[in-house]
Amino acid sequence: MRAFPYNAPVRPLPLLLLLLLAAPALAQPVPATGEILISVSGATSRLRPGIAAARGGGFVVVWREIGGQDGGIAARRVSAAGAPLGTGFVVEPLDEGRHTSDPQVVCRADGGLLAAWGEAAFLRPGCARAWFLGPGGGEGEIFDLGGCTTATSENGRAPNVALAGLPDGRFTAAWEEGLAMTSAGTDVVVRSFAAPGGPLSAALRVDGEGTGAEGFQTAPAVAQDAAGRSVVVWLDERNAALYGRRFDAAGRPLGARFLVFSGSAVEAAVAAAPDGRFVAVWSAFEQTGTRIFAQRFDAAGRKRGAPIPVSPAGSPSHRHREPDVAMDESGDFAVVWDADRIDGAGTGVLGRLYDADGVPRGPAFRVNTTGRGSQGHPAVAFAPGARTFLVVWDSQRDPGASGSIVGRLYTVAQPVVP
């Protein structure tokens, strides 16, 4: 703060400063719980969670399970107050030699669930798969999103899959197709569905034809607005750029691809408001390491302002990675990521809240309270119609466990006029 000289004459405050002092104060999110143990493992490692808000209240969390060389997918419901419900359920049981990618989940208004992930095994085709659990419960049904059309994977690498959905059951999925880790590379395709197993469109390459980037597309993320329009973002490794493209409710392209960021991005995520506004976040290399950035867009896909530096510059951490983002009905958004050197042991989880204009509601805040082991790979979701959001991540906090899924619930206070 700048001090006034002693005995200096008192001048009236400028009008702009008076207006700023009278403006609503943007409050930081307030923790509503401590760390919530959603799932703890013994010999099985549980990691890389995905999350969605349940339409009737609460959340659903999914994660990868790894036991030796076997992989599977599991899930559990969490109440609106942050309490784990039931014992959870198996989405895809552990299977010998199976490799899975990070799962995603969406919730329907009737209480049904849809999860999606990629899977592969040595010398088997890679598949983009989904699991539907109806409102009546049961074991659910697994189906292929694209017919397992990806090429045979010599290293067992599972394709990355992204998922977004609406309360009425419509959803959009995007996934990698092709052979990774070879000169053929991968492309990203997108497909819209009216209901599980009922596609609205064929699987389309997101970058279009003739872009010169065929075989170098990876790491898709997708979001959907209330009208069913979707936006996909992905990494273009040939051109060292992050691109996006919009699609209508029937899965048809709305214009050509557009540039989100030009540079060496590592991971990306995207979230949309009901009216079609959206925000993309990513981790990008800089001279001293990696940082998190965000870019806002209007409902027509036009950039709103310049990229926002989310993670603080000059922090002790040189590695800010694995971002995720959620947006509420008003366009406010929460960004979470993991970073090293913040809790004295491995990586920790950070978050930051922004209003719809991209104004931060204070500095970044630490999410995890446990300092033992690494805490990372966070995901976040806002509860519909509520001023709360849940952050989940994988943790090495429990001695003797290969990995646990934990979370923390936050409340967003209404702006207060001083």
Dump pLDDT digits (tens) for 233-261. 999 988 899 999 999 999 999 999 999 99
> How many angstroms separate the CA atoms of 61 and 39, rounded?
10
Q: Pick left, alpha or beta for residue 111 (phi over 0 → left; psi -120 to 50 → alpha; otherwise beta).
A: left
Give, in words, the CATH class of 26-411.
Answer: mainly beta
pLDDT tens, 401-413? Answer: 678 999 999 999 7
33 three-state secondary structure: coil
Residue 169, by phi and psi: left (phi above 0), alpha (psi -120 to 50) or beta? left
What integer best gives the mean pLDDT of the chain? 85
Within a 10 A sphere around the Cβ of 155, how many other Cβ atoms? 12
| Torsion sign, CA atoms 5, 7, 11, 13 | positive
Is 346 or 91 the better-scoring residue by pLDDT? 91
- d(CA 200, CA 173) in angstroms, rounded, equals 12
* Secondary structure of residue 359 in the 3-state scheme: coil
CA distances from 63 to 72, 200, 336, 378 (A): 9, 28, 17, 11
Structural contact between residues 41 and 401, judged by C-beta atoms closer than 8 angstroms: yes
How far is 49 from 60, CA to CA, in rounded Å?
10
**How confident is residue 416, by pLDDT bands cut at 50, 70 and 90?**
very low
Residues 49-96 have pLDDT tens digits of 999 999 889 999 999 998 877 889 999 999 999 999 998 989 999 887
pLDDT tens digits, residue range 88-118? 989 999 887 888 999 999 999 999 999 999 9
Give the pLDDT confidence of 124-157 residue by residue, as tens digits.
Answer: 678 899 999 999 888 899 999 986 655 545 556 7
Q: How confident is the model at residue 5 (pLDDT cuts 50, 70, 90)?
A: very low
On whether the CB atoms of residues 145 and 191 are closer than 8 A, the answer is: yes
**pLDDT value for 317:** 66
Model confidence pLDDT, tens digit, residues 181-213:
444 578 899 999 998 878 999 999 998 765 556
Please give the Cα distance from 199 to 212 (Å, whole number): 28
